[in-house]
Amino acid sequence: MKLLALQRTMARAVMQPLTKSEHMQEKAPGGGKMRAYASRFIKPNDRLTSFERLEIYNRQYWFRLFSALAEDFPGLRSVLGDKQFDAMCKAYVVDCPSTSFTLRNLGSKMESWLRAHPKWAGKKQTLALDIARLEWADIEAFDNESKPALRTEDLATADAETLKLELQPYVRLLDFAYPVDDLLLAVRKEDDTDFASNAFSEKRKKKHVRAVAKLNPQPIYLVVHRIDNSVYFRRIEPEEFAVLTALGKGKPLAKALDAAFRKSKMPLEERAAAVQKYFQTWATLGWFCRPLQKKATGA
């Protein structure tokens, strides 16, 4: 068997889902018996059959990927419950196997996949989509690039009609139907407590899952961002969210402000002060990038 053929043969078996009892399936990829499939390319030894040797890798693959998803999506796990989350992960990995050299990117398609497969969250679909989106934004905010931040002097000669501002690559703007920021922080706090005292963890988890099930919708606008290399969630007003979203899409400042306040209920006399406050906050938190210097052209 040539190298590529052997690697394809082994990979198909390694990536095949485990049974409910977390063992290798008896059925081989493409049909037939896995025992015969394994013995075609793997030698047995005096203690393990070819099947058992291949099974070590099959189990390691799934345990590693489950562990990565559980680490990245504790909130989603809390919403779905442990069993449903594990079953969902299996289906997700089958549909969206890792195509990156780093496991960091494994969950990148979670929200869109869940949207296309509503059976996994059932009645909690909206909540599940919200929390999955927040957890992926949290990963991106943690290690996306940071560019030099915009300074006040960069705006000295700016014209609002033409001024375009670029958001930092680590800033994520998200609108949710549920207050999932509170939920995720509560799950993380609980996980920390569980770590300190395993004895009561099961009881607390059940209590928490019940609490999650009762979570009521409450629309929120959130910025997931980074300060001193720690990720924070900041709730903002709908108008501020609209301005940031428009700027993020490349609209000039004047148009972004116009679009943001078009349907706003904020009294006209309060808007100028609100915008001034927005800019102060954005400048303090460094959410916008400094414009690139135009290169001087030689004569």
Partner 1 sequence: MPANKFNGFTDYGIGIGLRATHYDHILSRKPVCDWFEIISENFMIDGGRPLQILDEILEQYKVVQHGVSMYFGSAEKPNREHLRRLKDLVKRTKTPWVSDHLCWGSVDGRYTHDLLPMPYTFEAAKLTAQKVREVRDFLEVPVAVENVSSYAEFHVSEMTEWEFLNEVVERADCGILLDVNNIYVSSQNHNFNPLDYVNSIPAERVAQIHIAGHSKYRKYILDTHDHPVIDPVWKLYDRAIQRAGHTATLLEWDDSIPTFKEVHDEALKADKFLASSVLATAV
Measured from the CB atom, is 78 or 168 closer to partner 1? 168
Q: Between residues 124 and 172, which has the closer beta carbon with respect to partner 1?
A: 172
Cα gap 217→127, rounded to integer Å: 8
Is the Cβ of residue 148 or residue 217 nearer to partner 1 in the bound state? 148
Pick between residue 55 and residue 130 the one whose CB is nearest to partner 1.
55
What are residue 87's phi and psi, to 5 degrees?
A: -65, -40
Each residue 90-119 as x (binds partner 1 by CB under 8 A) or -, in order, gives -------xxxxxxxx---------------
Piece of 29-37, 136-144, 271-279, 291-299 that binds partner 1 (CB under 8 A): 136-144
* Residue 283 binds partner 1 (CB under 8 A): no
Using CB under 8 A as the binding rule, the residues of this chain from 15 to 44 that contact partner 1 are 15, 40-43
Cβ neighbours of residue 133 closer than 8 Å, sequence gap 6 or more: 111, 174, 176
Beta bridge partners of 224: 172, 233
Please name which of 72, 69, 70, 56 lies closest in space to residue 22, comparing C-alpha atoms.
Answer: 56
Q: Considering the complex, what minimum distance in angstroms separates the CB of residue 141 from partner 1?
A: 8
* Nearest-angstrom CA–CA distance, 122 and 256: 37
Nearest residue to 126 (alpha-carbon basis) of 114, 110, 135: 114
Check: CB of residue 239 under 8 Å from CB of residue 260: yes
> Using CB under 8 A as the criterion, which residues of the chain lie in contact with partner 1 when the complex forms?
1-4, 6-8, 10-11, 14-15, 40-43, 45-48, 50, 52-54, 56-57, 60-61, 64-65, 68, 97-104, 142-146, 169-170, 226, 229-230
